[in-house]
Structure 1
Amino acid sequence: MKELENKLMEKRINPTAMRLVVLDYLLKQTNAVSLTDMELSLEKTDRVTLYRSVKTFEEHGLVHRIDDGTGITKFALCQPACTVDGHHDLHVHFYCTNCGETHCLPKTQIPEVKLPGGYERQETSLLVKGLCAECKN
């Protein structure tokens, strides 16, 4: 439990009981999860407190949100470089059209996109859809 507390404090997040439970859950996930997934998996969870915990995690660079085209926002843990000042883990996200899971591919970087003069990038994301390794087999 002390390790979880330290992880939160490193990101300047007060380690409440709910935040510790949510962080523990997220650390055990192999794919991105929605708030509904979290709520259903965590016993006796207050929806508002869960939402606020995830929002705090996002604001402090602990999780990032993923729009995988399903209309349901999913969340995954950030890379260590993310901070309260911003997310610095630009990587590809993969949505499996068979199992419906969304995975972060942190070793697959998004190529730099050169914008024409007068344009300013505020966010970049790349979503690849297909079959994950498990479904392909």
Structure 2
Amino acid sequence: MDSVKDILHRNNLKGTSARIAILNTIISSEAPLSESDIKKRIHEVDRVTFYRSIKSLLDTKIIQGMITQGKIIKYTFCPENQNNETAVQFYCTECQRIADVEIKTQFPVVPQGYKEKTRSITITGICKACNNSSEEEIDGVVI
């Protein structure tokens, strides 16, 4: 994968210390991160710079935000090959990991006169690994 500075440069963003720290934190995480999760991991960025940096990363689609069940926005890295496509993801409420979902159906059409900027769908639930680990088996019956 390209370096964070290369990703920022390719998207016409300066490689500021705040953007580099935020993007490194998001990319290195296995699960989506909330604003407070990111702030806990990087301490050298002031509040205004933090929010401006997040906004610029969202605007250029380097990262994407998703709203979880608790109405908290969590951020993930958006690989370049998904920037122009519809993103459909499954968010596990147990392990908080995201998995890409294969698209086999047609998507809703935006009403006439509306201008679509991005398209993403997040399905929330429990992934296969967490679902299997939460099931108990008694006498060969899964409950």
What's the TM-score, normalizing by structure 2? 0.73
Matched, 1:11 2:8: no
Paired residues in the alignment total 130
Larger Cα Rg: Structure 1 or Structure 2? 2
- For 2:106, which of 86, 107, 112 is the aligned residue? 112
Given residue 90 of structure 2, which amino acid in structure 1 is its aligned partner? F
Asked whether the 8 Å contact 2:30–2:97 carries over to 1, the reply is: no
Q: Which residue of 2 aligns with 1:95?
A: 91
Asked whether the 8 Å contact 1:8–1:15 carries over to 2, the reply is: yes
Q: SS of the counterpart of 1:112?
A: coil
Q: Which residue of 2 aligns with 1:22?
A: 22
Deviations 1:71-115 (A, max 9, x none): 111111112146xxxx4242222232334x15151x523732254
Farther-moved stretch of structure 1 (37-46 vs 54-63): 37-46
Deviations 1:41-95 (A, max 9, x none): 212332221111111011112111112332111111112146xxxx424222223
- Please provide the CA RMSD for this pair: 2.8
Which ranges in structure 1 are unaligned for 5 or more consecutive residues? none
Classify 1:65/1:110 alpha carbon distance in 2 versus 1 (closer, same or farther; 3 Å). Answer: farther
| Superposed displacement of residue 29, structure 1 | 1.4
Matched residues in 2 for 1:116 and 1:52: separation? 29
Which ranges in structure 2 are unaligned for 5 or more consecutive residues? 134-143
Given residue 32 of structure 2, which amino acid in structure 1 is its aligned partner? A
Given residue 130 of structure 1, which amino acid in structure 2 is its aligned partner? G
Amino-acid identity (%): 21
| Superposed displacement of residue 117, structure 1 | 7.4
What's the TM-score, normalizing by structure 1? 0.76
Q: Which residue of 2 aligns with 1:127?
A: 122
Given residue 52 of structure 1, which amino acid in structure 2 is its aligned partner? R
Matched residues in 2 for 1:116 and 1:90: separation? 13
Asked whether the 8 Å contact 2:88–2:122 carries over to 1, the reply is: yes
Classify 1:129/1:15 alpha carbon distance in 2 versus 1 (closer, same or farther; 3 Å). Answer: same
